[in-house]
Structure 1
């Protein structure tokens, strides 16, 4: 870089000397000198960018890798590309930020992800405790329209509960949405309550924990 700046400076001096030896007006001579100085500044700026580009890319990649390992790569990328336009090259986007900003972006994204993870862990723990507290009611996995006596008008309600091998139905929950002028939603809610039974919830939570463990191992190993 020093060589480039020295060459540009030499060029500026040469221009100034040529201006002195050429028969031109004083104002024009100074104009030539100013143009030479501008050239030096432009060349110096280009040289600085040329040598800074690999350094900034290295810093960017360092914190990008840290964000990937911490599971906050999206938050980091959102911040880096926050003022990028469609078609902008990655190099130009990286060069638009100072190296210190990449650490700031990582710290913010990591803190944000940690807060999300903490909230999710609390909610999962609550859900697991509630599901485990319903032991003895694991069989509430079926739903059906509420039965009425022959000749009576259908209520529109749906039931949730167990159904025996002999097709004996034992309603535990009665879903009544007609009182809310939404009779058509009774079946949807009943099907949801039947599907979201305790064994299913516990199995899903266990699978989430297993996948998180495997994902963390893959991130560390990649």
Structure 2
């Protein structure tokens, strides 16, 4: 059974930082927005999709060079503020100790994804098995990145378990024909989020990475044969 980890909001507590920066930027452009609103609406989607939607709502094009400047600012803040989700490293190590194959599949652009995993001291756990929506045609909630990850890892989609924190991600996993569990331990999680993940198709919900082994066991996933 291949365990596929989303990254932002599952391994790295980045969603709340990114949402804060996006909310500040769009508010400065004249569309008052909060980090909570960004999290609720856009968790699991790509940065470009977020800004394409906000640009339409703003009713005018973004200033020239805005997106590039924003990304540079995000990279700078991430380099100083990013932290791993508590217990994430140990959870991945436990999966490895049980002999289960595992990887990352994220909406984040691949160079940024690798950099963020490096910043938080997690990149060494994955031995290059890190996959991004930038490598496929469509981002979540389309299933492409999960199907790509399974193919690269030599696994059948039905023989995978996805760990996700967003409705878009849970939806993508279900569209890929993969079972999925929902994680709600990130700083960005708002009231009712667990219910939204369940409604999207998550088989189980858990709030701390130390619970992952028990969650997987409850789904019949214990150790490689």
Q: Which has the higher contact order (CA 8 A, sep 6+)?
A: 2
What range describes the TM-score normalised by the shorter chain of this pair?
under 0.3
TM-score (norm 1): 0.21
Give the greater-gyration-radius structure (CA). 1
Q: What is the TM-score normalised by the length of structure 2? A: 0.21
Higher percent of residues as helix: 1
